């Protein structure tokens, strides 16, 4: 499985990669990854290439990713070229109108890309008092529900519990379920 995880600095992209890596290792799979930090500390672009299985290089080539997990819609659209035909796109949308434009819809349809979008900031405002620290776990919950060859909800919950500080365990489990339900309710 080849993942590209994108967003802006401070959204927890590296934690998401660690969760996926822990799951893969627990299942006996080889893991490779590479992060491009850029201006992450200033809210700049962050990209993580991540592979599970037998591969020779950690970088995902354009047109070969199975899943694009985007914590920011602009970074997601900017990195769509990484997805293969029939790949999956799980994205946090902050401006639904600009995301649902005809050219983007046509591109996704032509490439048979399955898009799963959720309004992560709105959900976190409503259910977590605006604490955006949990955006990464919210998107991982959505990824689990999308059924795109990603880890199961239970595997992801176990890895999140293991890797996150104990003081965030209850909140992380709540948000993981919230992300899952946001996609399941469609």
User: What's the token pair of residue 130?
Assistant: 């605006």
For 81-101, write each residue's pLDDT tens digit: 999 999 999 999 998 888 888
| C-alpha pair distances (Å), 77 with each of 59, 71, 72, 121 | 19, 11, 9, 18
CATH number of domain containing 79 = 3.40.920.10
Find residue 116's DSSP bridge partners: 90
Number of domains composing the chain: 1
The pLDDT tens digits for 12-29 are 888 898 999 999 999 999
Domain of 157 in residue numbering reads as: 2-184
59 Cβ contact list (under 8 Å, min separation 6): 34, 49
Rg (alpha carbons) of the chain, rounded to whole number: 15
d(CA 106, CA 85): 13
Residue with tokens 């899943």: 67
């Amino acid at each position: 499985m080849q993942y590209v995880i994108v967003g802006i600095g401070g959204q927890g992209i590296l934690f998401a990669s660690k969760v996926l890596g822990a799951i893969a290792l627990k299942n006996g799979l080889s893991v490779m990854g590479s992060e491009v930090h850029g201006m992450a500390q200033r809210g700049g672009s962050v990209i993580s290439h991540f592979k599970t299985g037998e591969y020779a290089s950690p970088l995902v080539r354009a047109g070969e990713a199975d899943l694009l997990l985007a914590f920011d819609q602009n970074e997601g659209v900017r990195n769509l070229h990484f997805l293969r035909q029939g790949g999956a796109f799980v994205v946090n949308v902050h401006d639904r109108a600009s995301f649902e434009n005809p050219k983007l819809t046509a591109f996704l349809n032509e490439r048979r890309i399955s898009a799963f979008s959720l309004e992560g900031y709105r959900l976190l405002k409503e259910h977590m008092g605006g604490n955006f620290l949990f955006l990464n776990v919210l998107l991982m919950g959505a990824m689990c529900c999308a059924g795109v060859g990603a880890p199961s909800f239970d595997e992801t919950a176990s890895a999140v519990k293991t890797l996150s500080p104990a003081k965030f365990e209850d909140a992380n489990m709540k948000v993981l379920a919230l992300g899952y339900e946001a996609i399941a309710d469609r």
